[in-house]
């Protein structure tokens, strides 16, 4: 019997725990773990998902936007939450929800410390981002000098952590550059620390960083993202998929040679009779329209079936000729087969984008 005969993203909690254990195996017992739940938890949901992470001993969460942090607070999660890309006008909102800003430059630091002082804060936790080579956000040496001069007067805030982000830690081709980033981080963070009378948490490693540089650079905390969701940069067979996009067959029909399936007559039937199954999922749900016309196969009842015709907004069609399929049967768009890696390869993108493309309207179902 199928349960959940509607379009949903199934989140497999045992597999999340399995992957977490793998990443923990690289770390010392006292190294903290931050999990990135930006972009709706890499598609896995935010409120309930953050609660699950809290229950599994995660120390910190991080998001991109304040609204994501607010969703975490609304779910009753008490963990510290870093917000990476808050605009300055959001600072009072962050403080209201006890969300902690990542501060990438002196202007941001001054503005936040002013807002915090106005609200009567003392020692509000903030996180200093260092630029060690990404050249996207972060303090470089000269600006860090200026920051240290302001610190004695900036009593409304406390530097809870100092961190930086790798450019290409998963790619052995760039290991020399990664090592340069580690060295710069070491130097800049020590410099900052030498101007404080307390020790901020230092963190540098992202998922591939944990797999490849945990010995020399785990510092006090690591930031786990895509790895938790099954992506290994060392050996993919070591990790398990955590998200399964599933949708029911709405109807099965026979279409004869010369007839076409779907919009624009794009899906031509070239065999005497094709069996076509219509699915309750479309590009508005996150099934990329470039998967139309047989570019991808989804799996149903143990078989792979190619798309036929153009993927529609809310539906798409697959060719199930020769497969025993009836309305209500569940089709896997991604999960074990195909994997997010296969779809990413077809689309010329990265698995992150497959996960983060699943639409808001697709309910997340947590399975333990």
Ligand X SMILES: *Cc1c(COP(=O)(O)O)cnc(C)c1O
Quick one: DSSP state of residue 199? -
CB of 197 to ligand X, least distance (A): 27
- Spatial separation of the C-alpha atoms in residues 122 and 292, rounded to whole Å: 56
Catalytic residue among 141, 179, 199, 263: 263
Question: Checking phi first, is residue 148 left (phi over 0); if not, alpha (psi -120 to 50) or beta?
Answer: alpha
233 is annotated as an active-site residue:
no
192 vs 226 by CB, closer to ligand X: 226
Specify the residue, 206 or 278, whose C-beta has the smaller distance to ligand X: 206
Residue 124 a catalytic site member: no
Which residue's CB atom is positioned nearest to ligand X? 225
Minimum distance from CB of 287 to ligand X (Å)?
A: 23
SS3 316: strand
Single out the catalytic residue among 38, 91, 129, 246: 38
DSSP string, 248-305: EEEEEEEEETT-EESGGG-EE--SSEEEEEEES--GGGT--GGGTTTT-EEEETTEEE
Residue (228 or 308) nearer to ligand X, CB: 228
Angstrom CA distances, 222 to 61, 143, 304, stand at: 11, 25, 38
Output the six-digit token pair for 287.
């099934």
Closer Cβ to ligand X, 51 or 223, answer by number: 223
Shortest spacing between CB 12 and ligand X, in angstroms: 18
- Contact criterion met (CB below 8 Å) for 313 and 7: no
Minimum distance, C-beta of residue 66 to ligand X, in the bound complex (Å): 15
From the CB of 321, what's the least distance to ligand X, in Å? Answer: 39
**63 three-state secondary structure:** strand
Tokens read off for 276:
């076509």
Of residues 156 and 207, the one with the C-beta less far from ligand X: 207
Taking the C-alpha atoms of residue 117 and residue 156, their distance in angstroms, rounded to an integer, is: 5
DSSP-assigned states of every residue in 94-123: HHHTT-EEEE-SHHHHHHHHHHHHHTT-SS
Nearest Cα neighbor of 97 from 118, 119, 127 is 119
Nearer to ligand X by Cβ, of 15 and 207: the residue is 207
**118-136: b (≥16 Cβ within 10 Å) or e:** eeebeebbbbbbbbbbeee
Minimum separation from the CB atom of position 181 to ligand X (A): 13
Task: Answer whether 81's CB lies under 8 Å from 72's CB.
Answer: yes
Binding stretches for ligand X (CB under 6 A): 36, 84, 165, 206-207, 223, 225-227
Task: Indicate which residues carry an active-site annotation.
Answer: 38, 263
């Amino acid at each position: 019997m199928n349960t959940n005969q509607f379009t949903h993203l199934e989140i497999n909690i045992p597999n999340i725990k399995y992957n977490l254990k793998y990443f923990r195996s690289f770390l010392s017992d006292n190294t903290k773990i931050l999990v990135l739940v930006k972009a709706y938890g890499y598609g896995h949901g935010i409120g309930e998902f953050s609660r699950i992470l809290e229950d599994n001993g995660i120390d910190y969460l991080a998001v991109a936007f304040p609204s994501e942090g607010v969703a975490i607070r609304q779910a009753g999660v008490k963990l510290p939450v870093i917000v990476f890309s808050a605009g300055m006008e959001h600072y009072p909102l962050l403080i209201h929800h006890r969300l902690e800003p990542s501060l990438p430059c002196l202007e941001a630091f001054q503005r936040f410390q002013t807002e915090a002082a106005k609200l009567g804060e003392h020692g509000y936790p903030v996180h200093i981002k260092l630029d060690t080579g990404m050249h996207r956000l972060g303090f470089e040496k000269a600006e860090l000098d200026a920051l240290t001069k302001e610190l004695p007067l900036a009593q409304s805030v406390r530097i809870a952590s100092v961190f930086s982000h790798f450019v290409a830690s998963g790619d052995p081709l760039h290991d020399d550059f990664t090592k340069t980033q580690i060295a710069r981080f070491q130097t800049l963070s020590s410099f900052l620390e030498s101007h404080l009378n307390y020790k901020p948490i230092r963190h540098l490693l992202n998922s591939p960083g944990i797999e490849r540089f945990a010995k020399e650079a785990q510092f006090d905390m690591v930031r786990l993202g895509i790895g938790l969701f099954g992506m290994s940069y060392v050996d993919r067979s070591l990790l398990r998929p955590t998200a399964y996009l599933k949708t029911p067959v709405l109807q099965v029909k026979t279409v004869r040679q010369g007839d076409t399936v779907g919009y624009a007559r794009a899906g031509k039937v070239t065999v005497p009779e094709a069996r076509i199954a219509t699915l309750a999922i479309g590009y508005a749900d996150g099934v990329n329209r470039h998967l139309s016309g047989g570019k991808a196969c989804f799996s149903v009842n143990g078989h792979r079936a190619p798309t036929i015709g153009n993927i529609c907004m809310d539906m798409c069609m697959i060719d199930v000729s020769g497969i025993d399929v009836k309305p209500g049967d569940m089709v896997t768009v991604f999960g074990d087969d195909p994997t997010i890696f296969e779809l990413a390869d077809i689309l010329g993108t990265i698995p992150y984008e497959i996960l983060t493309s699943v639409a808001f309207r697709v309910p997340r179902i947590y399975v333990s």
